[in-house]
Structure 1
Amino acid sequence: MSSPTRRHIHRIDNETNRTHCWKVQVQHRNRVVIHHFSDGRYGGKRKALTAAIACRNELLEDMRDERYAHWRRNRRRRNNTSGIVGVGRYVAREVVGGKDVERASWIAFWDGADGKRHTRKFAVNKYGEARAKALACKARREAMAALIA
Protein backbone atom coordinates (compact mmCIF):
# COMPACT_ATOMS: atom_id res chain seq x y z
CA MET A 1 0.00 0.00 0.00
CA SER A 2 1.42 3.38 -0.98
CA SER A 3 1.41 6.47 1.20
CA PRO A 4 -0.76 9.49 0.27
CA THR A 5 2.33 11.37 -0.95
CA ARG A 6 2.97 8.56 -3.46
CA ARG A 7 -0.59 8.14 -4.66
CA HIS A 8 -0.58 7.42 -8.44
CA ILE A 9 3.22 6.91 -8.27
CA HIS A 10 4.85 3.47 -8.52
CA ARG A 11 8.45 2.31 -8.41
CA ILE A 12 9.87 0.19 -11.24
CA ASP A 13 13.14 -1.66 -10.60
CA ASN A 14 13.76 -4.22 -13.34
CA GLU A 15 17.35 -5.53 -13.36
CA THR A 16 16.81 -7.56 -16.56
CA ASN A 17 15.92 -4.48 -18.60
CA ARG A 18 18.07 -2.17 -16.44
CA THR A 19 15.02 0.00 -15.82
CA HIS A 20 14.99 2.04 -12.61
CA CYS A 21 12.35 4.75 -12.53
CA TRP A 22 9.22 6.15 -10.97
CA LYS A 23 6.00 5.73 -12.96
CA VAL A 24 3.21 8.29 -12.66
CA GLN A 25 -0.19 7.04 -13.81
CA VAL A 26 -3.27 9.23 -13.44
CA GLN A 27 -6.73 8.35 -14.75
CA HIS A 28 -9.65 10.76 -14.91
CA ARG A 29 -12.88 10.39 -16.91
CA ASN A 30 -11.56 7.53 -19.04
CA ARG A 31 -8.37 9.47 -19.85
CA VAL A 32 -5.11 7.84 -18.73
CA VAL A 33 -1.80 9.74 -18.57
CA ILE A 34 1.47 7.88 -17.89
CA HIS A 35 4.97 9.39 -17.38
CA HIS A 36 8.24 7.74 -16.37
CA PHE A 37 11.00 9.45 -14.36
CA SER A 38 14.32 7.65 -14.76
CA ASP A 39 16.88 7.71 -11.96
CA GLY A 40 19.67 8.27 -14.50
CA ARG A 41 18.03 11.22 -16.24
CA TYR A 42 17.05 13.00 -13.00
CA GLY A 43 20.28 12.40 -11.07
CA GLY A 44 19.15 9.71 -8.64
CA LYS A 45 16.19 8.01 -7.09
CA ARG A 46 15.15 10.89 -4.79
CA LYS A 47 15.37 13.59 -7.45
CA ALA A 48 13.36 11.40 -9.84
CA LEU A 49 10.72 10.93 -7.14
CA THR A 50 10.57 14.68 -6.52
CA ALA A 51 10.01 15.26 -10.26
CA ALA A 52 7.36 12.52 -10.35
CA ILE A 53 5.47 14.07 -7.43
CA ALA A 54 5.56 17.51 -9.08
CA CYS A 55 4.29 16.01 -12.35
CA ARG A 56 1.52 14.09 -10.57
CA ASN A 57 0.38 17.23 -8.72
CA GLU A 58 0.29 19.22 -11.96
CA LEU A 59 -1.69 16.48 -13.75
CA LEU A 60 -4.23 16.28 -10.94
CA GLU A 61 -4.63 20.06 -10.95
CA ASP A 62 -5.13 20.13 -14.73
CA MET A 63 -7.72 17.34 -14.52
CA ARG A 64 -9.69 18.97 -11.69
CA ASP A 65 -13.31 19.47 -12.68
CA GLU A 66 -16.24 20.73 -10.61
CA ARG A 67 -18.67 18.58 -12.62
CA TYR A 68 -16.68 15.37 -12.06
CA ALA A 69 -18.75 14.22 -9.07
CA HIS A 70 -21.95 14.55 -11.09
CA TRP A 71 -20.38 12.71 -14.05
CA ARG A 72 -19.19 9.89 -11.79
CA ARG A 73 -22.62 9.47 -10.21
CA ASN A 74 -24.29 9.18 -13.61
CA ARG A 75 -21.82 6.94 -15.43
CA ARG A 76 -23.28 3.64 -16.59
CA ARG A 77 -21.27 0.73 -15.24
CA ARG A 78 -20.40 -2.43 -17.15
CA ASN A 79 -22.33 -4.60 -14.73
CA ASN A 80 -25.54 -2.57 -15.07
CA THR A 81 -28.30 -4.98 -16.09
CA SER A 82 -31.33 -2.68 -15.78
CA GLY A 83 -30.07 -0.20 -18.37
CA ILE A 84 -30.74 2.66 -15.96
CA VAL A 85 -27.96 4.26 -13.94
CA GLY A 86 -28.57 3.99 -10.20
CA VAL A 87 -31.57 1.67 -10.50
CA GLY A 88 -31.53 -2.09 -10.14
CA ARG A 89 -33.79 -5.07 -9.54
CA TYR A 90 -32.83 -7.18 -6.55
CA VAL A 91 -34.20 -10.42 -5.15
CA ALA A 92 -33.85 -11.16 -1.44
CA ARG A 93 -34.15 -14.80 -0.44
CA GLU A 94 -35.13 -15.82 3.07
CA VAL A 95 -36.67 -18.74 4.92
CA VAL A 96 -40.12 -18.06 6.41
CA GLY A 97 -41.96 -20.89 8.18
CA GLY A 98 -39.63 -23.48 6.68
CA LYS A 99 -40.22 -22.25 3.11
CA ASP A 100 -37.84 -20.39 0.82
CA VAL A 101 -39.37 -17.02 -0.05
CA GLU A 102 -38.12 -14.62 -2.73
CA ARG A 103 -38.90 -10.93 -2.43
CA ALA A 104 -38.17 -8.89 -5.53
CA SER A 105 -37.80 -5.12 -5.45
CA TRP A 106 -36.51 -2.25 -7.55
CA ILE A 107 -34.01 -0.08 -5.71
CA ALA A 108 -32.85 3.44 -6.54
CA PHE A 109 -29.45 4.37 -5.11
CA TRP A 110 -27.19 7.40 -5.23
CA ASP A 111 -24.33 9.11 -3.42
CA GLY A 112 -25.59 12.19 -1.61
CA ALA A 113 -23.88 15.54 -1.19
CA ASP A 114 -22.79 14.28 2.23
CA GLY A 115 -20.83 11.49 0.51
CA LYS A 116 -23.07 8.76 1.94
CA ARG A 117 -24.98 6.11 0.00
CA HIS A 118 -28.76 6.61 -0.11
CA THR A 119 -31.40 4.15 -1.29
CA ARG A 120 -35.15 3.90 -1.90
CA LYS A 121 -36.72 0.47 -2.24
CA PHE A 122 -39.96 -0.40 -4.07
CA ALA A 123 -41.36 -3.91 -3.60
CA VAL A 124 -42.65 -5.74 -6.67
CA ASN A 125 -45.27 -7.50 -4.49
CA LYS A 126 -46.70 -4.13 -3.43
CA TYR A 127 -46.48 -2.06 -6.63
CA GLY A 128 -46.12 -4.60 -9.43
CA GLU A 129 -43.06 -4.96 -11.67
CA ALA A 130 -43.58 -1.97 -13.99
CA ARG A 131 -44.74 0.50 -11.33
CA ALA A 132 -41.96 -0.46 -8.88
CA LYS A 133 -39.37 0.14 -11.63
CA ALA A 134 -40.99 3.46 -12.61
CA LEU A 135 -41.04 4.62 -8.98
CA ALA A 136 -37.37 3.70 -8.53
CA CYS A 137 -36.46 5.63 -11.70
CA LYS A 138 -38.45 8.64 -10.49
CA ALA A 139 -36.81 8.53 -7.04
CA ARG A 140 -33.36 8.45 -8.65
CA ARG A 141 -34.18 11.37 -11.00
CA GLU A 142 -35.52 13.48 -8.12
CA ALA A 143 -32.49 12.73 -5.93
CA MET A 144 -30.07 13.68 -8.71
CA ALA A 145 -32.03 16.88 -9.45
CA ALA A 146 -31.81 17.82 -5.76
CA LEU A 147 -28.03 17.31 -5.84
CA ILE A 148 -27.59 19.62 -8.82
CA ALA A 149 -29.85 22.37 -7.42
Structure 2
Amino acid sequence: MDTSESTKKHKHISRDENKNRTSYGWYCRVTYQKKLHRKYFADKKFGGKEQALKAAISWRNAKEQELGIPRTDRLLYTKSRSNTGVTGVILAEKYNRYDVIWSNAEGKCCKTSVAIKKHGKKKAFEIACKIREEKNAIRLKSELPQKTRNS
Protein backbone atom coordinates (compact mmCIF):
# COMPACT_ATOMS: atom_id res chain seq x y z
CA MET A 1 0.00 0.00 0.00
CA ASP A 2 1.54 3.33 -0.96
CA THR A 3 1.54 6.35 1.34
CA SER A 4 -1.32 8.00 -0.56
CA GLU A 5 -3.64 5.07 0.27
CA SER A 6 -4.55 6.61 3.63
CA THR A 7 -5.54 9.87 1.93
CA LYS A 8 -7.98 8.17 -0.48
CA LYS A 9 -11.64 7.85 0.34
CA HIS A 10 -12.69 4.34 1.22
CA LYS A 11 -16.35 3.34 1.20
CA HIS A 12 -17.67 2.66 4.74
CA ILE A 13 -14.35 3.66 6.36
CA SER A 14 -13.60 6.96 8.11
CA ARG A 15 -10.59 8.32 10.00
CA ASP A 16 -10.95 9.04 13.72
CA GLU A 17 -8.36 11.60 14.87
CA ASN A 18 -9.95 13.31 17.83
CA LYS A 19 -7.28 15.48 19.49
CA ASN A 20 -9.00 15.09 22.90
CA ARG A 21 -8.57 11.30 22.83
CA THR A 22 -5.40 9.28 23.19
CA SER A 23 -6.11 6.81 20.38
CA TYR A 24 -6.34 7.35 16.66
CA GLY A 25 -7.61 4.90 14.08
CA TRP A 26 -10.08 3.91 11.40
CA TYR A 27 -13.79 3.33 12.00
CA CYS A 28 -15.54 0.94 9.64
CA ARG A 29 -19.35 0.77 9.37
CA VAL A 30 -21.31 -1.52 7.05
CA THR A 31 -25.11 -1.32 7.10
CA TYR A 32 -27.19 -4.12 5.64
CA GLN A 33 -30.93 -4.71 6.01
CA LYS A 34 -31.17 -1.92 8.63
CA LYS A 35 -28.48 -3.54 10.81
CA LEU A 36 -25.20 -1.75 11.48
CA HIS A 37 -21.98 -3.78 11.60
CA ARG A 38 -19.04 -1.76 12.89
CA LYS A 39 -15.49 -2.14 14.09
CA TYR A 40 -12.72 0.22 15.20
CA PHE A 41 -9.12 -0.27 14.05
CA ALA A 42 -6.69 1.55 16.36
CA ASP A 43 -3.35 2.61 14.86
CA LYS A 44 -1.52 1.49 18.01
CA LYS A 45 -3.03 -2.01 17.98
CA PHE A 46 -2.30 -2.63 14.29
CA GLY A 47 1.20 -1.10 14.20
CA GLY A 48 0.49 2.23 12.52
CA LYS A 49 -1.93 4.19 10.37
CA GLU A 50 -1.37 2.25 7.12
CA GLN A 51 -1.59 -1.19 8.75
CA ALA A 52 -4.77 -0.23 10.60
CA LEU A 53 -6.28 0.94 7.30
CA LYS A 54 -5.29 -2.34 5.61
CA ALA A 55 -7.02 -4.24 8.42
CA ALA A 56 -10.14 -2.06 8.13
CA ILE A 57 -10.34 -2.58 4.35
CA SER A 58 -9.86 -6.32 4.79
CA TRP A 59 -12.59 -6.49 7.48
CA ARG A 60 -14.98 -4.40 5.37
CA ASN A 61 -14.47 -6.62 2.29
CA ALA A 62 -14.94 -9.80 4.34
CA LYS A 63 -18.05 -8.41 6.06
CA GLU A 64 -19.60 -7.35 2.73
CA GLN A 65 -18.91 -10.81 1.30
CA GLU A 66 -20.38 -12.48 4.40
CA LEU A 67 -23.54 -10.37 4.10
CA GLY A 68 -23.81 -10.88 0.34
CA ILE A 69 -23.23 -7.23 -0.56
CA PRO A 70 -21.56 -6.77 -3.99
CA ARG A 71 -18.06 -5.21 -3.60
CA THR A 72 -18.10 -1.84 -5.29
CA ASP A 73 -16.75 1.57 -4.34
CA ARG A 74 -19.87 3.21 -5.71
CA LEU A 75 -22.30 4.47 -3.11
CA LEU A 76 -25.55 2.58 -3.40
CA TYR A 77 -28.58 4.22 -1.87
CA THR A 78 -31.13 1.64 -0.88
CA LYS A 79 -33.59 3.81 1.00
CA SER A 80 -36.62 4.24 -1.18
CA ARG A 81 -38.06 7.70 -1.61
CA SER A 82 -40.63 6.42 -4.05
CA ASN A 83 -44.32 6.24 -3.33
CA THR A 84 -44.46 2.53 -4.22
CA GLY A 85 -42.04 1.23 -1.60
CA VAL A 86 -39.70 -0.02 -4.34
CA THR A 87 -36.48 1.91 -4.94
CA GLY A 88 -36.44 3.32 -8.47
CA VAL A 89 -40.12 2.66 -9.21
CA ILE A 90 -42.38 5.70 -8.85
CA LEU A 91 -46.10 6.01 -9.47
CA ALA A 92 -46.67 9.12 -11.60
CA GLU A 93 -50.43 9.42 -11.05
CA LYS A 94 -50.66 12.66 -13.00
CA TYR A 95 -49.46 10.84 -16.14
CA ASN A 96 -51.08 7.47 -15.32
CA ARG A 97 -47.79 5.55 -15.45
CA TYR A 98 -44.97 4.05 -13.43
CA ASP A 99 -41.58 5.69 -13.91
CA VAL A 100 -38.52 3.44 -13.60
CA ILE A 101 -35.22 5.09 -12.71
CA TRP A 102 -31.76 3.49 -12.46
CA SER A 103 -28.14 4.37 -13.04
CA ASN A 104 -26.04 2.53 -15.62
CA ALA A 105 -22.47 1.24 -15.21
CA GLU A 106 -21.05 4.70 -16.00
CA GLY A 107 -23.20 6.25 -13.26
CA LYS A 108 -25.53 7.98 -15.72
CA CYS A 109 -29.17 8.25 -14.65
CA CYS A 110 -31.58 6.42 -16.96
CA LYS A 111 -35.36 6.41 -17.04
CA THR A 112 -38.27 4.68 -18.73
CA SER A 113 -41.97 4.41 -18.01
CA VAL A 114 -44.73 1.80 -18.10
CA ALA A 115 -48.27 2.89 -19.02
CA ILE A 116 -51.04 1.92 -16.60
CA LYS A 117 -53.67 2.47 -19.30
CA LYS A 118 -52.00 -0.12 -21.54
CA HIS A 119 -51.21 -2.81 -18.92
CA GLY A 120 -53.47 -2.13 -15.95
CA LYS A 121 -52.15 -0.90 -12.60
CA LYS A 122 -51.04 -4.27 -11.15
CA LYS A 123 -49.36 -5.56 -14.33
CA ALA A 124 -47.70 -2.17 -15.03
CA PHE A 125 -46.21 -2.21 -11.52
CA GLU A 126 -44.90 -5.77 -12.00
CA ILE A 127 -43.33 -4.81 -15.35
CA ALA A 128 -41.76 -1.68 -13.83
CA CYS A 129 -40.26 -3.70 -10.95
CA LYS A 130 -38.90 -6.30 -13.38
CA ILE A 131 -37.26 -3.59 -15.52
CA ARG A 132 -35.68 -2.04 -12.43
CA GLU A 133 -34.33 -5.42 -11.24
CA GLU A 134 -32.88 -6.24 -14.67
CA LYS A 135 -31.21 -2.85 -15.10
CA ASN A 136 -29.76 -2.96 -11.59
CA ALA A 137 -28.41 -6.50 -12.15
CA ILE A 138 -26.74 -5.42 -15.40
CA ARG A 139 -25.07 -2.47 -13.65
CA LEU A 140 -23.87 -4.55 -10.71
CA LYS A 141 -22.55 -7.29 -13.01
CA SER A 142 -20.53 -4.75 -15.02
CA GLU A 143 -18.94 -3.41 -11.80
CA LEU A 144 -17.61 -6.82 -10.72
CA PRO A 145 -13.92 -7.51 -11.38
CA GLN A 146 -13.26 -9.38 -14.65
CA LYS A 147 -12.01 -12.61 -13.01
CA THR A 148 -15.08 -12.79 -10.72
CA ARG A 149 -17.44 -12.20 -13.63
CA ASN A 150 -16.04 -15.05 -15.75
CA SER A 151 -15.87 -17.66 -13.00
| TM more than 0.5 | yes
> Counterparts of 1:38 and 1:15 in 2: how far apart (Å)?
14
> Do the aligned partners of 1:10 and 1:22 also contact (CA within 8 Å) in 2?
yes
Q: Is it true that 1:14 corresponds to 2:18 in the alignment?
A: yes
Q: How many residues align?
A: 115
Deviations along 1:110-137, one digit per CA (max 9) or x if unpaired, are 357x666443265xxxxxxxx75x8354
- What is the alpha-carbon root mean square deviation over aligned residues? 3.5
Q: Any unmatched runs of 5+ in structure 2? A: 1-6, 71-75, 135-151
Q: Is it true that 1:138 corresponds to 2:128 in the alignment?
A: no
Larger Rg: 1
TM-score by length of 1: 0.58
> Do the aligned partners of 1:13 and 1:20 also contact (CA within 8 Å) in 2?
yes
| SS of equivalent residue, structure 2 residue 58 | helix
Q: Any runs of at least 4 consecutive aligned residues in structure 1 with deviations exceeding 4 A, and if so which?
A: 145-148
Shift of 1:14: 0.3
Shift of 1:80: 4.0
Q: Any unmatched runs of 5+ in structure 1? A: 67-71, 91-103, 123-130
Q: Give the counterpart letter for 2:97 in structure 1.
A: I
Shift of 1:21: 0.8
> Do the aligned partners of 1:105 and 1:121 also contact (CA within 8 Å) in 2?
no
Among all aligned residue pairs of Structure 1 and Structure 2, give the percentage whose two residues are the same amino acid. Answer: 20
**The structure with more strand, counted as a fraction of residues:** 1
Deviations along 1:58-112, one digit per CA (max 9) or x if unpaired, are 111112268xxxxx9xx883x444x56424235xxxxxxxxxxxxx213313357
Q: Give the counterpart letter for 2:95 in structure 1.
A: S
TM-score by length of 2: 0.57
